[in-house]
Structures are given as structure tokens and as C-alpha cells.
Structure 1
Amino acid sequence: MSARSETAAASRSGGRVALITGASSGFGLLTALELARKGIRVVATMRNPEKAEELLKLAEEAGVAERLRVLPLDVTDPLSIRQAVEETIRSYQRLDILVNNAGFAAGGFVEDVSMEAWRQQMETNFFGLVAVTQSVIPIMRRQQKGLIINISSVSGRVAFPGYGPYAASKFAVEGFTETLRHELAPLGIGVVLVEPGAYRTPIWNKGLAAMAAPADSPYGERLERIAQYSRRTAETAPDPRQVAELIGVLADTRAPRLRYTLGSGSRLAIWGRALLPWKWFEGIIRRALGS
């Protein structure tokens, strides 16, 4: 369908428009399909549109391909962000939902992780999310309505050893989102945090593959035990469609709350951190991870 035809169709239907970052796999891919099934026109963005093959195939099978459009967007590139948002508005004249999903997981003990790796983690998971959000706020402000959903993690509430860069980026997302919600609520714009625990998504396979200590690291054995625990957790993790389905519900929720935590053990970890004396909680984590 051409951009002109899409614009006309969107105008006739009065349909909502959603933009999703990191939609080539995992939560982003499944969320794109879920929102399209609800009749929402979805702009599915990713750094490399050549990786959209699986998304497009599943959309065709689900009968929602006509409501899906793939655009390139690298959250670490200001020009790429601007072009994707401008193309969305040029095609649909509106943007109702933003799902900030793009991200990756970097691991390792703090002493072993290079500053370059720390910066890459923050550039994508935090600064990229802020940059995309800034580009969308003026549109939603003029509309006097909109919904921004930031995909955080239980690691944004409870930090674990071996995942310092990832936890730091998600803690930053949590604080940013709280501030943003205060600022945008009077303008009719909703802001929500979705905090998944471990799910069967590529982010953990990629993160674990890169999670290795230098040969002479004093943390090598501990990191390996943590990696083994993470692998076992990933093998038994629930279906990531639960997260996409939640986002679908949030898209139709009139007054969503700030946080939605889901996933096996996530609430227990958060409650334990909040209610137990720190030494008790720390001991539980150490025994669980064998670290």
C-alpha cells in the first residue's frame, strides 16, 4: 500500500497510530502484531529493515500486514529518529502510541566491563529512549493526547551481580519515566512503565553470549555461576506474548497506572527488596546465584 493510500485509509477509519522501536524481534515484534490485531496502524521500526522478514511473515499469516509498516530507526542516531517520526506524521498525520522497546543487555562484573561497553549500553537503552521520546512529545502535546510506554525491566527495580550496565540503564529509565509522567499528565499524555522479568526473548541469548570475563579476571568463576543460573532461568521463562498482550490492554486503558510488573518471580523480588532487611535480601540473592 502506498503512503498516500495508507493516509487515506487511516483518515477514513479514524484509526490510531503506534510507533514501536526495536520491532525486529522479541517484545517489539510481538507488540507490533498485537497492536495491529487491535486495528491500530503500526509503524514497526528497527535499525536494519532487512531483519523484518519474520515480522512481515507473521503479519501476513495473521492477516494484519496491511496495518503494518516497517521503517528504519536507530535510536542512537538523531537523524534516523527525525526521519522516522517525520515519515510517520507525513503518512498518517498523527501518532497516538509510542512503545520504547529498543535495547540490549550487557553483562559482566563492574571492574571487567570497558567504559565503551558502559557507554554503548546507556546510549541505546537510556539516551536513545529519551531521544525518541523527545521527538514524539510535541506531536502528542498538539494532539492533547497520547500514550508513551517505556519497556523497562525488573532489573530497573532490583539489581543483580553481573548485570551492572543493564541494571544501570533500566534504573535510569525508571527515574526518567516517573519525571515524564508528572510533566505530561496535565497535557493528556499517559506515561507507563512495563517491567518484565525473564522471558524467552533473544535479548538474553545475545546478552549471555557476550557475558564473559577476561581470562585473568578474579570474577570468572562467579560470573560463570551467574551465567549458568541465567541460562536455566531463560530455559523455563514464560512466553513473551504475555508482555505484548499487556501492552495491547494498555493501549485501550483509559487511565493506566505508572508501573506494570510481570514475569515469574518479579513481584516477589521487588517486594523482598522493599520489605526485608538488606542483609537478608542480599544473602538470598547470593545463595540463589551461587555467587
Structure 2
Amino acid sequence: MSKIWLITGSARGLGRDIVEAALAAGDEVLATARDPGRLDDLKPIYGDRLRTFALDVTDMRAAEAAVEAAVAAFGRLDVLVNNAGFGYMAPFEQASEAEFRAQIDTNFYGVVNLTRAALPVMRKQRAGHIINVSSVGGRVSTPGMSAYQAAKWAVGGFTEVVAKEAAPFGVKLIALEPGGMRTDWGHTARGHAPALLPDYEPSVGAIQRLLQQYVGNEAGDPAKVAKVIVDLSRRESLPAHLLLGSDAQYVFGLAEAERRQDAEAWAEVTTSTDFDEVDLSVLGKLRSE
């Protein structure tokens, strides 16, 4: 049976690839974007299987209207892909409050808004997939990306919690954590960087220089990522998190090794704050449920 999709951030990059992959699989799509007119070239190819909708994901009422439009057009909603997002590179000290908040609002609250709107529909259906496009940046820390990565860390935790809440009624959630992809994300991130204060040259400056070499040579193929997402929409069992790309796997491995090393080095301090007698058996029950 074909699937009904709602995809955010569909006008370009990975979002557009997901739209095309879902349509190529025979599914029906409500593609949303701030400028949905950029998808008009696909309409003659796919006809009524593609509908578009102007959406600012930071607007809760607009999120609700988008879900209503998908259900009105196609009768149900099977797959929500929260893909809309962007990042600007700047030291936290040099990022304005407005710039910082805009990244949190889009990258995190956009996910929250669409999930809040879609979940009641999927709960009544007793089925559905919510696929949140996070980033390996939601598992690691990169100088210059405080707002973007704070939002992506939040997306990972939010996804994992709601996945456990929704599992009893058949709704599945996953946080995808890709590394670099050959979209225009890197150009956007670098293009808004301020002139660095000298004290940030060793940290943020080093990352800027790395990106100059990496942008355009990223490991990730967005078309292949889109095909993985279509495959995930057909699966009954999903991991809470899924890294995508050898670069994501590599940097995540480095970060995890550092965390394990720190945990072991500080284990005595960690346990020093306990009462003398502690029973942790109840926590084992929580993990098994």
C-alpha cells in the first residue's frame, strides 16, 4: 500500500530529494516549504500525487494546517519527515540573540510543532512514522555551532522520549544523524560567519578552515539518504538514532571514546555523592520497559 507523506523543508537539498524518492516509490506527498513554488516543476510529472503547502515550521497554527491539508488531500498521514533546518557558524559570544533563537526555533521547535500536530492523527490510525532529520552534530560538539547543535541534541532527546511514549499505539520515531552532505548547508553556515575575535581563531577559526576544504567534498549523497528514508518508512522496527555517512560514524566514535574515557577517569567522584547504601534495582526495571 502506498504511503502518505508530509515533508518539511522540501524546496531544495535533502528535502527535495526525499520528495522525489517518495514519489518515485509510488507514494503521495504533501511537500512543504517557505516557498513551495520551487517544486512546481515536479507537478506535471506526478500530478495529484504531489501537493504543496507554504509552511513556516516555527508557526504552530501553520503546522496544524499543514497536517490538516495532508489528511484532507489524501485521507490519512503515514510519514512525517521533519527536515527543515539551517545552521550559522559563529562563536556563541558573537552570535546575536535573534540569530541564536532563530536556529533553535526552526531546528528544534519546528520538529516539536509538526510532531505535536501529526501525533493525534497517527495515534488514531494506530500507525505512523515520524522521521526527524537531526545531525551527527546532535551527538558531538563543534566550535561555532552552539545554536545549531544545541537544537540537534534536543531533537535527539525529544525523539527518543516520544518514541517510547508512542510505541504502545504503533507510532514509530527515529532521529537520523547524517554527517556532511553535498547540499548547500555548508555554504549557508560559512556564509553568515562574522569576522572572528582573535581569541576565537584557535577554536572556531580552525573549524572554518576545515570547512573550506570539506564543503563540496562531503561524504554524504543526499539522494542515497533519501532512499534510506523511504526504506525506513516501510520498516516496523527502528533504532532511536541512526548515523548516516562514514564521516558521521567516525566523528561519533571519537566523541564516544572521549566520553567513556572521562566517565572512567571521574568514576570515583561520580559515585562519591551517593548515600552509603543505595538500591539501584528499580532502575533496571525502567530500562526493560
Q: What's the TM-score once normalised by structure 2's chain length?
A: 0.84
Looking at structure 2, the residues matched to 231 and 262 of structure 1 have their Cα atoms a distance apart, in angstroms, of 22
Looking at structure 1, the residues matched to 173 and 195 of structure 2 have their Cα atoms a distance apart, in angstroms, of 38
1:209 to 191, 194, 207: 191
CA distance 1:108–1:278, shift in 2 (3 Å) = farther
RMSD between aligned residues: 2.0
Q: CA deviation at 1:65?
A: 4.5
Greater shift in the superposed pair: 139-148 or 80-89: 80-89
1:197 to 161, 174, 179: 179
Instruction: Return the letter of the residue paired with 1:228.
Output: R
Q: CA deviation at 1:15?
A: 3.1
Check whether the contact 1:212–1:223 (CA below 8 A) recurs between aligned residues: no
Looking at structure 2, the residues matched to 30 and 106 of structure 1 have their Cα atoms a distance apart, in angstroms, of 23
Q: State the match for 2:37 in structure 1.
A: 50
CA distance 1:236–1:114, shift in 2 (3 Å) = same
1:124 to 93, 97, 106: 106
Q: Does 1:165 align with 2:112?
A: no
Q: State the match for 2:138 in structure 1.
A: 156
Task: Please list the CA deviations of residues 37-87 of structure 1 after superposition, one character each: whole Å capped at 9, or x if unmatched.
Answer: 11110110001223324xx34x75xx4344211111110112221221111
CA distance 1:276–1:119, shift in 2 (3 Å) = closer
Q: State the match for 1:9 in structure 2.
A: none
CA distance 1:103–1:234, shift in 2 (3 Å) = same
Count how many residue pairs are aligned between Structure 1 and Structure 2.
Answer: 261
Check whether the contact 1:152–1:174 (CA below 8 A) recurs between aligned residues: yes
Question: What is the identity percentage for the equivalent residue pairs of Structure 1 and Structure 2?
Answer: 34
Check whether the contact 2:94–2:194 (CA below 8 A) recurs between aligned residues: no
CA distance 1:224–1:51, shift in 2 (3 Å) = farther
Q: CA deviation at 1:221?
A: 6.5
The 3-state SS of whatever aligns with 2:199 is coil
Instruction: Return the letter of the residue paired with 2:37.
Output: E
Q: CA deviation at 1:254?
A: 2.0
Check whether the contact 2:179–2:244 (CA below 8 A) recurs between aligned residues: yes
Q: State the match for 2:221 in structure 1.
A: 239
Looking at structure 1, the residues matched to 224 and 198 of structure 2 have their Cα atoms a distance apart, in angstroms, of 38
Q: CA deviation at 1:178?
A: 0.7
Check whether the contact 2:7–2:81 (CA below 8 A) recurs between aligned residues: yes
Check whether the contact 1:112–1:213 (CA below 8 A) recurs between aligned residues: no
Q: CA deviation at 1:220?
A: 4.7
Check whether the contact 2:137–2:149 (CA below 8 A) recurs between aligned residues: yes
Looking at structure 1, the residues matched to 136 and 199 of structure 2 have their Cα atoms a distance apart, in angstroms, of 28
Instruction: Return the letter of the residue paired with 2:109.
Output: F
Looking at structure 2, the residues matched to 226 and 218 of structure 1 have their Cα atoms a distance apart, in angstroms, of 14
Q: State the match for 2:27 in structure 1.
A: 40
Q: Does 1:114 align with 2:96?
A: yes
1:228 to 206, 209, 218: 209
Instruction: Return the letter of the residue paired with 2:69.
Output: E
CA distance 1:156–1:277, shift in 2 (3 Å) = closer
Greater shift in the superposed pair: 229-238 or 161-170: 229-238
Q: State the match for 1:255 in structure 2.
A: 237
Task: Please list the CA deviations of residues 171-203 of structure 1 after superposition, one character each: whole Å capped at 9, or x if unmatched.
Answer: 000110010111000110011111100011122
Check whether the contact 2:30–2:51 (CA below 8 A) recurs between aligned residues: yes
Q: State the match for 1:176 in structure 2.
A: 158
The 3-state SS of whatever aligns with 2:246 is coil
Q: State the match for 2:129 in structure 1.
A: 147
Instruction: Return the letter of the residue paired with 2:209.
Output: Q
The 3-state SS of whatever aligns with 1:181 is helix
Task: Please list the CA deviations of residues 196-252 of structure 1 after superposition, one character each: whole Å capped at 9, or x if unmatched.
Answer: 0001112221111012235x5532565343212113112211321121011011011
CA distance 1:189–1:279, shift in 2 (3 Å) = closer
Q: Does 1:273 align with 2:273?
A: no
Q: CA deviation at 1:144?
A: 0.3
Looking at structure 2, the residues matched to 49 and 245 of structure 1 have their Cα atoms a distance apart, in angstroms, of 22
Instruction: Return the letter of the residue paired with 2:185.
Output: I
Looking at structure 2, the residues matched to 103 and 122 of structure 1 have their Cα atoms a distance apart, in angstroms, of 9
Q: Which 4+ stretches in 1 moved above 6 angstroms?
A: 277-280
Check whether the contact 2:143–2:203 (CA below 8 A) recurs between aligned residues: no
Q: State which structure, 1 or 2, has the greater radius of gyration over its C-alpha atoms.
A: 2
2:58 to 55, 63, 76: 76
